Amino acid sequence: MIEIRIPKEIRTYKEKLFFGLNLRQLICTLIAIIINVPLYWFGKDYVGSDAASWIVIFIAMPLFMIGYFNYNGMTFEQFIKSVIQQELIYPQKRKYITINMFELLVSIKEKGEQDSAIVSKKRKKLKEEGSHS
């Protein structure tokens, strides 16, 4: 019987094209091969095979990272963008300011008591002035 694999999450599905690689991986692998094989082949005569192999590794590494890197569903470019935003663009220290509701209510109550005291003093003055006349 033929079995067909069905991914649990459809958004994570990547279509495989050639050798089990998706299009992004295939393109990055081909670019790495096209650049690095001639570089090593002709560069080993000038700098030696050991140095040429290190040069090839350092050139191929970013290309493979771009093609194969996947972190929490993010591609390499998206991941680098989020790291740059997090570390350089957005502020690192967030100020957490609290409002003490108890203090606020007490100050409102005291202000209300002061206001009521002022009003009651004015009423007394008016009554006293009214009784003297």
Looking at residue 96, its pLDDT comes to 79
Q: With a threshold of 0.75, does the pTM exceed it? A: no
Structural domain spans, the chain: 10-77, 93-133
pLDDT tens by residue, the chain, 133 residues: 677 777 676 666 666 766 777 888 888 889 999 999 999 998 888 898 889 999 999 999 989 888 888 888 888 899 999 999 988 888 777 777 787 888 877 887 777 767 666 666 666 766 676 665 5
* Phi and psi, residue 38, nearest 5°: -65, -35
